[in-house]
């Protein structure tokens, strides 16, 4: 197929040229005397994206799933109880991992389309007088449904119950795109990955860990080896790794952080919000419905969109790919066949969003979904026009 293909899945995301050039480097000596001058500032700068001052960053050659495993096995002992909500494929998978690793999970099932049920968590934590719950798991952004949860609310519930459990957040599809405040929310472990907001190829699990969690790791009895925080920290302290690091990915991460800081994190978040809002305006103009059940849950990185009854979203996504080289996300698990997803995170601008939206419109038209062609694109254009960043509006 000639021309550019459209990658609008919620990860892996588009990799900016600067990052692609940065990873395309000759292999280097992982024990070189000048490596720490590169890695030590890198570890510190990663923390800025998590908004952590006192935590410690960890970079494991892995995908985000390995980050989940690192969080659990480093801090918990077999049989430990964790509190978690299930309302999408990713929250489901993290819970499944807990069970397979031998932890007891207090699962709160919530409707797919809603976020963490903070009130129910608050009640469970209050009722847990003997502090059997050792960790609370929160997916900051449930990628399957396009729902962002209230981590500050969960922190408040822990504080009000005077509960010492660790707070873990899955920020794989939010960190570096949606505001995340590790220090303010006193998150103990935040997990991310390279291939979403960090705009890199897949292959790095990126974590930030609080001092409280690091202290608890000394007593945690779960078996672990590859993902052991202590092994990693001992060698990271001098700027090296306990096994061969993917140095090209570290170079890519440097380039990614440089891009994020040059734009300014707050501007990155505003850009994601503005682009997401354009997608939402388009969805509404098409007469379709988001999976996210209320505005405060709508994600700025991914929109899961219901097709009308009688239309198959798998066929829809397949057609977009085959006919136009447009990659959209499929519906996962409970919402399979019913929703399709537009990923709008990472290296993205207005023109790319309009490409995605017009590609969706072409596909809607081809599949016979009733809607007015051009309506979503027009709504997005109006939104972009109305919300031009101030400096551009002034120059015009
Ligand atoms: C993508 C994703 C993961 C899994 O990450 P992998 O890199 O695929 O292992 C976990 N949680 C969320 C919320 C995600 O979006």
Q: Encode pLDDT of 293-345 as tens digits.
A: 999 999 999 999 999 999 999 999 999 999 999 999 999 999 999 999 999 99
Which atom of ligand 1 sits closest to the CA of residue 10? 15
With vertex at residue 352, the alpha carbon angle to CA 348 and CA 357, rounded to the nearest 5 degrees, is 125
Instruction: Enumerate the domain spans of the chain.
Output: 6-12+265-395, 17-262
Distance 191 CA to ligand 1 centre (A): 9
Asked whether residue 217 carries a pLDDT value surpassing 90, the answer given is yes
Contact 15, 200 (CB under 8 A): yes
- Dump strand ranges (E) for the chain: 6-8, 56-61, 81-86, 104-109, 133-139, 141-142, 147-148, 166-170, 189-193, 204-209, 289-290, 302-306, 326-330, 339-343
Say what the pLDDT of residue 118 is: 98
Ligand 1 nearest atom to the CA of residue 139, by list position: 13
**CATH annotation of 6-12+265-395:** 3.90.1150.10
Q: How far is the CA of 369 from the centre of ligand 1 (A)?
A: 31
Segment 51-56 shows an average pLDDT of 98
Do 30 and 247 meet the contact criterion of CB atoms below 8 Å apart? yes
Please give the DSSP secondary-structure letter assigned to residue 114: B
| CATH architecture under which domain 17-262 falls | 3-Layer(aba) Sandwich (3.40)
Please count the helices (runs of H) and the strands (runs of E) in the chain: 14, 14
12 preceded by a cis bond (ω within 30 of 0): yes
Residue among 127, 132, 184 at smallest CA distance from 161: 127
Residue whose Cα lies nearest atom 2 of ligand 1: it is 172
- Give strand ranges (E) for 70-213: 81-86, 104-109, 133-139, 141-142, 147-148, 166-170, 189-193, 204-209
Pocket test for ligand 1, best of 65, 66, 69 (most atoms within 8 A of CB): 65
CA of 381 to the centre of ligand 1 (A): 31
Confidence class for position 1, pLDDT limits 50, 70, 90: confident
Cα of 346 vs centre of ligand 1, distance in Å, is 15
Predicted confidence at residue 395, as pLDDT, reads 67
Q: Look over the chain and give the mean of its residue pLDDT values, rounded to a whole number.
A: 97
Q: How far is ligand 1, taken at its centre, from the CA of residue 167, in Å?
A: 18
Q: Measuring from each residue's beta carbon to the nearest atom of ligand 1, which residues come in under 6 Å?
A: 11, 63-65, 90, 139, 141, 143, 170, 172-173, 193, 202
Whether residue 84 contacts residue 95, with contact meaning beta carbons closer than 8 Å, is answered with yes
Q: Does residue 23 sit in helix, strand or coil?
A: helix
Picking from 384, 385, 360, 366, the residue whose alpha carbon sits closest to that of residue 288 is 360
Phi, psi of 99 (to 5 degrees): -65, -45
Q: Which two tokens stand for residue 53?
A: 């001052």
**Is residue 331 within 8 Å of 313, Cβ to Cβ?**
yes
Backbone angles phi, psi at 86, to 5 degrees: -120, 115
Q: What is the pLDDT of residues 243-272, one digit of tens each?
A: 999 999 999 999 999 999 999 999 999 999
> Are 353 and 346 a contacting pair, CB within 8 Å?
no
Contact 357, 381 (CB under 8 A): no
On the question of pLDDT at 392 being above 90, the answer is no
Handedness of CA 95, 100, 106, 108 (dihedral sign): positive
* In the predicted structure, residue 390 carries a pLDDT above the cut 90: no
CA distance 48 to 70: 21
| Helix 118-127 vs helix 151-160: crossing angle, to nearest 10 | 20
Supply the pTM of this predicted model.
0.97
What is the spatial distance between Cα 281 and Cα 382, in angstroms, rounded to a whole number? 9
**Distance from residue 192's CA to the centre of ligand 1 (Å):** 8
Residues sharing a CB contact under 8 Å with residue 220, sequence separation 6 or more, in sequence order: 73, 74, 75, 76, 77
Strand order in the sheet with 326-330: 6-8, 326-330, 339-343, 302-306, 289-290
Tell me whether residue 335 is exposed, middle or buried, using C-beta atoms within 10 angstroms of its C-beta: 0 to 12, 13 to 18, 19 or more: buried
Which residue among 64, 67, 98 has the greatest number of ligand 1 atoms within 8 angstroms of its CB, and so is best to mutate? 64
Angle at alpha carbon of residue 170, lines to 166 and 174, rounded to 5°? 135
**With 70 as the cut, is the pLDDT of residue 203 above it?**
yes
Backbone angles phi, psi at 162, to 5 degrees: 50, 45
Report pLDDT digits (tens) over 113-163: 999 999 999 999 999 999 999 999 999 999 999 999 999 999 999 999 999
Q: What is the DSSP letter of 367?
A: H
State the pLDDT at residue 391: 66
Measured from the Cα of 68, ligand 1's closest atom is 10
What is the rounded distance in angstroms from the CA atom of residue 252 to the CA atom of residue 270?
A: 24
Task: Write phi, then psi, for 235 (nearest 5 degrees).
Answer: -90, -35
Atom number, ligand 1, closest to the C-alpha of residue 11: 1
- What's the pLDDT score for residue 3? 94
Indicate the top mutation candidate among 68, 146, 151, 172 to test ligand 1's pocket, ranked by most ligand atoms within 8 A of CB.
172
Contact (Cβ atoms closer than 8 angstroms) between residue 272 and residue 252: no
Ramachandran sector of residue 7 (left: φ over 0; alpha: ψ -120 to 50; beta: rest): beta
> Would you say 9 and 329 are in contact if contact means Cβ atoms under 8 Å apart?
yes
With beta carbons less than 8 A apart as the criterion, state whether 6 and 324 touch: yes
389 has a pLDDT exceeding 90:
no
């Amino acid at each position: 197929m000639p021309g550019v293909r459209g990658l609008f899945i919620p990860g892996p995301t588009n990799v900016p040229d600067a990052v692609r050039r940065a990873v395309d480097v000759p292999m280097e000596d992982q024990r070189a005397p000048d490596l720490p001058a590169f890695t030590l500032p890198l570890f510190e700068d990663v923390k800025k994206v998590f908004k952590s001052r006192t935590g410690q960053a960890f970079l494991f050659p892995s995908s985000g799933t390995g980050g989940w495993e690192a969080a659990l096995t480093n801090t918990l002992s077999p049989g430990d109880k964790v509190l978690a909500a299930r309302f999408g494929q990713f929250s489901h998978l993290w819970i499944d991992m807990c069970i397979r690793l031998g932890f007891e999970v207090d699962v709160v099932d919530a409707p797919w389309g809603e976020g963490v049920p903070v009130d129910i968590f608050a009640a469970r934590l209050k009722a847990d007088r003997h502090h059997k719950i050792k960790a609370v798991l929160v997916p900051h952004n449930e990628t399957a449904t396009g729902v962002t949860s209230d981590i500050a609310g969960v922190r408040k519930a822990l504080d009000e119950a005077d509960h010492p459990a660790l707070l873990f957040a899955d920020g794989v599809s939010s960190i570096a795109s949606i505001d995340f405040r590790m220090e303010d929310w006193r998150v103990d472990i935040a997990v991310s990955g390279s291939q979403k907001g960090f705009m890199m190829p897949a292959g790095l699990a990126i974590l930030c860990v609080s001092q409280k969690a690091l202290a608890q790791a000394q007593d945690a009895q779960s078996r672990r080896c590859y993902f052991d925080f202590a092994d990693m920290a001992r060698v990271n302290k001098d700027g090296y790794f306990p096994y061969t690091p993917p140095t090209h990915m570290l170079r890519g991460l440097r380039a990614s952080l440089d891009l994020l800081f040059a734009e300014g994190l707050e501007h990155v978040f505003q850009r994601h919000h503005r682009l997401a809002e354009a997608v939402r305006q388009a969805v509404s103009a098409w007469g379709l419905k988001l999976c996210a059940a209320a505005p405060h849950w709508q994600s700025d990185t991914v929109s899961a969109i219901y097709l009308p009854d009688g239309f198959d979203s798998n066929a829809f996504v397949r057609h977009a790919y085959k006919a136009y080289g447009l990659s959209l996300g499929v519906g996962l698990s409970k919402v399979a066949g019913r929703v399709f997803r537009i990923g709008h995170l990472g290296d993205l601008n207005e023109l790319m969003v309009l490409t995605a939206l017009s590609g969706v419109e072409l596909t809607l038209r081809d599949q016979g979904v009733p809607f007015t062609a051009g309506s979503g694109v027009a709504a997005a254009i109006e939104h972009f026009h109305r919300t031009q960043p101030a400096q551009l509006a002034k120059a015009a």
